[in-house]
Amino acid sequence: MKRFFPFLLFGFLGLTLVVSCQKWKDSKPFTDPRINNPYCNDPNAVNYNWGFPGRPDDSICFYPTDVYVGKYLFVDSVLRTDNSFLYADSLTLQFYALSQTKMAILGFCSAGDSLKLTVDRSMNAVVDSVIVGFGQSFCRTADTVSGTIQKVLTDTTNKTFTVNFTVVSDTTVNFHTGTLIKQ
């Protein structure tokens, strides 16, 4: 048996060498049904790459400003710098898109001025800074506004947003916090 073992070992190694040197054969190709699934291929869109892999179809894309466009009821609470309550108000605001990521809001100021914001893919809007470090003019030339609007994460209908604005005027600083409800 001891003399037979080296022959068995060399035979096994030789067989392994012959089998491992055989040419690779590809398996038959198959068509994956997911490849026909359309997906949005625009990085500015909220639904960028949803449904990938598939075929690119930018007609199904929706953009951050698309979610905001419409009429809203804004329930506003105005606070002083020491967080003491000043007053409450409600306004009807109109949101409209300027581009895929830029929008404007009408209804804050009686003069018809619009507030311009930039919206990211997470649907968070930031007031554009026109005056460096101060935000943009707000209703009067002595007032500036800065702040954000954010989607309420628990709202799956995309109809509720929170507002946090800081308004700096020539005499005081006020904080506007509240809720936007799509009408």
Q: Which fold has domain 64-182?
A: Lipocalin (2.40.128)
Q: What is the pLDDT along the chain (183 residues), one digit of tens a residue?
A: 567 777 777 777 777 766 666 677 888 877 777 688 899 999 989 899 998 888 899 999 999 899 899 999 999 999 999 989 999 999 999 999 999 999 999 998 877 778 999 999 888 999 998 877 678 888 888 889 999 999 888 888 878 999 999 999 888 999 999 999 999
d(CA 35, CA 29): 14
Structure tokens at 145: 């506004």
CB 119 within 8 A of CB 101: yes
Picking from 125, 161, 109, the residue whose alpha carbon sits closest to that of residue 117 is: 125
Phi-psi region of 107 (alpha: psi -120 to 50; beta: other; left: phi over 0): left
Confidence (pTM): 0.74
Give the tokens for residue 99: 């581009």
* CB contact at 8 A, 61 and 47: yes
pLDDT for 17:
67
Distance, CA of 181 to CA of 183 (rounded, Å): 6
Tens digit of each residue's pLDDT (9 = 90 or more) over 125-136 = 999 988 776 788
The DSSP H or E segment spanning 24 is none
Domain limits of the chain?
Answer: 30-62, 64-182
Q: Supply the DSSP string of 58-117, one letter for each residue.
A: GGG---HHHHH-EEEEEEEEEE-TT--EEEEEEEEEEEEESSSSEEEEESSSTT--EEEE
Mean pLDDT rounded to a whole number for the chain: 87
Q: Structure tokens of 153?
A: 């994460």
**Cα Rg of the chain (Å, integer):** 31
